[in-house]
Structure 1
């Protein structure tokens, strides 16, 4: 009897313990709970602590109360100025109404899939309405470029930012929030653009355009260089001609002075010995006129014959002496 009573007591205590463990549950500060009865939600618990439910009949579904991260796949978008880009977005969201979230979606994975559709749709609708410059930049702050030509090319475009990236992102968040409002119990806290890239099919064309721009700049530098080269060579040529002209003028002046001095000397020599001067000049003339191949026929009344004859006569007299 005693053993049977002890066994019954053990069984009763086990049943009580099981019932108590099935009746109590804990909601920590990170979660919120939905209590279901036979699969139907009956109430929600949002405050942390120890709670009670009907054992074996009611079940607890826990949902995260913290901010959750959503990261979408890049979307191919054609901007208003016909630039084909890929936009990657990132968002933070939370389950604001756990009961509605449970009845409409059930799990966080389904919530992620809904965000995929809603946010990506909002990104495409908003970004396609603006130019690429509006999506990339926030202000009209002047950008710094590596070359003066690129800076001038940017000034020519006269880009004016009216909305800017931050306002466009806020517009995306509002559009996505309106699509989620009152339907899933989801609150979209924040949306951000992670990156903006050109799509892979467009990248070669972008490189070609950049290459063409660099070639244009290089050709401009080359043209300016050739222009400066021509100016330098022209200046050098003019300077060389000036120097040669001055040198020639100086040389002619010196030659003129030398010729004048020579004429003066010749004149003085002629005054002192006219006949000797005439004789030497005649000899110099013949010396410069005749060579070994020249045959000379002299007349008896020629000056040259007279000089030779007189020279021969004077030489014979000197010998006789």
Structure 2
């Protein structure tokens, strides 16, 4: 993957040929130095020949990820072929025979203890993680804004519907009330000719009040029904 990484490893070993061990490395300190050089070189070769995911992962497992988090391929776990344990075994197989035949040391176990990126790569990874979380947060915000707009729209439609129904009901009630009032007026003023004339007079006065003001000027013929009560109300000549 062309990335610089730091790898900590450990190994277990034992002396199987004391004479050869003493001739080659003399003591434990010397053996430790030779083991570090040999195992470090073998680990570099094995790691460099594989993708980073092979060093990081050791088990194939299905990872459950929320749909909202599947934003790009880099955010998902990539499949691997061999895995970390297999790479450690390769180092053990490559270095073990040489250590035993040349130094009298039997390599019992080799493991990768810790794997980390360099500081520069870690900074880029953290930036990418922040960017990914920001995209997810923005997606949630966008969905929330859309849902809020939907709810607000439904509220406005419901309010408009309620207002329209209330206005219709108010008009129906007012219309019925007006009809009842007309019926009551008609019944009250339909008792005699005088009551009919009085009712006509009242309605005409209401019309005058609703249509005329101090600033209005009317030009009417003397035979106009609208002018009839005005003409009759004129003062008599003395």
- For normalisation by structure 1, the TM-score amounts to 0.63
Q: Is the 8 A contact 1:298 1:305 kept in 2?
A: no
- 1:199 aligned onto 2:118: yes
Which one of 97, 119, 138 corresponds to residue 178 of structure 1? 97
Q: Tell me the CA shift for residue 184 of structure 1.
A: 1.4
Q: Tell me the CA shift for residue 276 of structure 1.
A: 0.6
Q: Is the 8 A contact 1:144 1:151 kept in 2?
A: no
Q: Tell me the CA shift for residue 121 of structure 1.
A: 0.8
Q: Compared with structure 1, are the counterparts of its residues 305 and 252 closer, same or farther at alpha carbon in structure 2 (3 Å cutoff)?
A: closer
Which one of 142, 157, 174 corresponds to residue 223 of structure 1? 142
C-alpha distance in 1, partners of 2:7/2:29? 23
C-alpha distance in 1, partners of 2:203/2:70? 82
Q: Is the 8 A contact 1:279 1:307 kept in 2?
A: no
Q: Deviations over 1:171-216 (max 9, x none)?
A: 1111111332411112111112111111122111011011111011
**Structure 1 or 2: larger helix share?**
2
The SS at the match of 1:192 is strand
Q: Is the 8 A contact 1:118 1:179 kept in 2?
A: no
Which one of 208, 211, 229 corresponds to residue 127 of structure 2? 208
- For normalisation by structure 2, the TM-score amounts to 0.83
C-alpha distance in 1, partners of 2:116/2:56? 10
- 1:286 aligned onto 2:208: yes
1:216-255 paired onto structure 2 within 5 Å = 216-255=135-174
Higher relative contact order (CA 8 A, sep 6+): 2
**Structure 1 or 2: larger strand share?**
1
Question: RMSD in angstroms over aligned alpha carbons?
Answer: 3.0
Q: Tell me the CA shift for residue 153 of structure 1.
A: 6.2
- 1:303 aligned onto 2:228: yes
Q: Tell me the CA shift for residue 155 of structure 1.
A: 11
The SS at the match of 2:50 is coil
C-alpha distance in 2, partners of 1:157/1:104? 49
Where in structure 2 are there 5+ consecutive unaligned residues?
A: none
The SS at the match of 2:60 is coil
C-alpha distance in 2, partners of 1:203/1:271? 100
- Higher-Rg member (1/2): 1
User: 1:188 matched to which residue of 2?
Assistant: 107
Q: Deviations over 1:225-262 (max 9, x none)?
A: 11111211111121112111211211121122122212
Q: Tell me the CA shift for residue 158 of structure 1.
A: 6.4
